[in-house]
Chains A and B, each alone.
Chain A
Amino acid sequence: TGKQQSILGFFSKA
Chain B
Amino acid sequence: MLEARLDQAEILKKVVDAIKDLVQDCNFDCNDSGIALQAMDNSHVALVSMNLQADSFAPYRCDRNIALGVNLTSLTKVLRAAQNTDILTLRALDAPDSLNLVFESQDKDRISEYDLKLMDIDQEHLGIPETEYAATIKMPSVEFRRICTDLMALSESVTIEASKDGIKFTCSGDIGNGSVTLRQHTNVENEKENIEIELSEPVALTFSLKYLVNFCKAAGLSNTVTICLSNEVPLLVSYALTSKAGSNLRFYLAPKIGD
For residue B176, CB closer than 8 A to chain A, the reply is no
Interface band, chain B: 20 to 34
Report the nearest A residue to B46, measured CB to CB.
Answer: A7
Interface band, chain A: 10 to 19
- Do the beta carbons of A10 and B259 come within 8 Å of each other? no
- Do the beta carbons of B256 and A4 come within 8 Å of each other? yes
Contact code string B123-138 (vs A, CB < 8 Å = 1, else 0): 0111111000000000
In angstroms, Cα B129 to Cα A1, docked, is: 27
Our count of residue pairs bridging A and B at CB distance below 8 angstroms stands at 63
Known: A13-B124, A13-B126, A14-B126. A4 touches B208 (CB 8 A): yes
Contact code string B30-61 (vs A, CB < 8 Å = 1, else 0): 00000000001001111100000000000000
* Interface residues of A, Cβ cutoff 8 Å to B: 1-14
Q: Please name 21 pairs of A and B residues whose Cβ atoms are closer than 8 Å in the assembled complex, sorted by A.
A: A1-B156, A2-B157, A2-B206, A3-B256, A4-B208, A4-B256, A5-B45, A5-B254, A5-B255, A5-B256, A6-B44, A7-B47, A7-B252, A7-B253, A8-B126, A9-B254, A10-B234, A11-B127, A11-B128, A11-B252, A14-B127
